[in-house]
Chains A and B, each alone.
Chain A
Amino acid sequence: DTGVSQDPRHKITKRGQNVTFRCDPISEHNRLYWYRQTLGQGPEFLTYFQNEAQLEKSRLLSDRFSAERPKGSFSTLEIQRTEQGDSAMYLCASSLVGITYNEQFFGPGTRLTVL
């Protein structure tokens, strides 16, 4: 399977714990994006990387959130001191800039439940 993969698929944690999610993009894609989706809503942009550089962050990405893409391949999204409001589906997408009109392809998502 050469699509976008995310791990874990589901995460249940207690309020105040830290969690980390991983995303592996399509191998030749140079851009990687993170989105958050709550029930019944469309996804909201959080941040994106071009290669290893984090180029933009949404104001939704509070200080408790940090994302990395250390070698320009996979990415991690960490949430520190989780709150119940962090419960959502976290989606990762990737794209190849310059050839495919930046069409974004999504992974299956990580569903986070904060108790």
Chain B
Amino acid sequence: KQEVTQIPAALSVPEGENLVLNCSFTDSAIYNLQWFRQDPGKGLTSLLLIQSSQREQTSGRLNASLDKSSGRSTLYIAASQPGDSATYLCADNAGNMLTFGGGTRLMVKP
């Protein structure tokens, strides 16, 4: 059974800092890896999907990487802004379901 872990659970950084969020998974037979953003009390917004054959995906200031052999994915956020404050979730997209980590709650201070 796939288990997904995100460390740290919470992170606070000053505005403008580059930062990395970590996601680890126990089963390297991952299908796709999907990163989401969730604002308080709201649904999830899909940020990036990395196919199992890919190593990274980029969208604007976001870059996500996938290393199946080590069971890790990272989400890099460049030049963080207060508007980036949210919870970031990674998930193993196994085709029939998503298995989520617990999320990293990010606070970017002005």
In the complex the two chains form, what is the Cα distance from A33 to B93 in whole Å?
12
Return A20 CB to nearest CB of chain B, in Å: 19
A48-B93 in contact given A91-B44, A103-B49, A107-B43 (Cβ < 8 Å): no
A33 touches B97 (CB 8 A): yes
Question: How far, in angstroms, from A104 to B33 measured CA to CA in the complex?
Answer: 11
Q: How far, in whole Å, are A104 and B45 apart by their CA atoms in the complex?
A: 9
Q: Report how many residues on chain B are interfacial, defined by Cβ distance under 8 Å.
A: 25
Which one, B32, B51, B98, B103, contacts A45 given CB within 8 A?
Answer: B98
Instruction: Tell me the chain B residues, 83-105 only, with Cβ under 8 Å from chain A.
Output: 89, 91, 93, 95-103
Please give me the residue from chain A that is nearest to B96 by CB atom.
A56
> In the complex, how many residues of chain A place their beta carbon closer than 8 angstroms to a beta carbon of chain B?
27
B: residues with CB less than 8 A from A are 4, 31-32, 34, 36, 41-46, 49, 51, 89, 91, 93, 95-103
Query: A43-B100, A45-B99, A103-B34 known; 13 other A-B pairs, CB under 8 Å?
Result: A6-B43, A35-B98, A41-B103, A42-B91, A43-B44, A93-B44, A102-B32, A103-B93, A106-B45, A106-B46, A107-B43, A109-B42, A109-B43
Q: Would you list 18 pairs from A and B whose C-beta atoms are within 8 A, ordered by A residue?
A: A35-B98, A42-B4, A42-B89, A42-B101, A45-B98, A56-B96, A58-B97, A91-B44, A102-B32, A102-B93, A103-B34, A103-B49, A104-B46, A104-B93, A104-B98, A106-B36, A108-B43, A111-B41
